Amino acid sequence: MYYYNNTARTNECANNKKERVNITELKKARIERGIRQYKIAADSGISIRALQNYESGKRSPDVCTAQYIANILGVEVKDLFPTQKETSQNKSVNEA
């Protein structure tokens, strides 16, 4: 069994716990880079279940967790958000 490393978290993020972000492009970015869920979870100090919830859109990470994940993936946090085009396409599908 693989346990995640809680020591990866720092106190600098303690103030940002209340801010949440919706990083819908997370799974796509992870798969494109061939990185396994347990690796991101371990390196960012979150559980695999939390990561799965972020990828499925059931939950949103706080700002600092999103930054940790982006750093592990080698992208900027903004790259984990849907583009304007994707957002408008999703709205059109949902409205139909």
CB-neighbour burial class of residue 44 (10 A; exposed 0-12, middle 13-18, buried 19+) = buried
Q: What are the tens digits of pLDDT across the range 16-69?
A: 555 677 777 899 999 999 999 999 999 999 999 999 999 988 898 888 899 999
| Within a domain: 65 | yes
| Within a domain: 20 | yes
Q: Which CATH number does the domain housing residue 68 bear?
A: 1.10.260.40
Work out how many domains the chain is built from and give that number.
1
| Within a domain: 43 | yes
The range of the structural domain enclosing residue 27 comes to 6-95
| Within a domain: 1 | no
Rounded CA separation 60/56 (Å) = 10
Check: pTM over 0.75? Answer yes or no: no
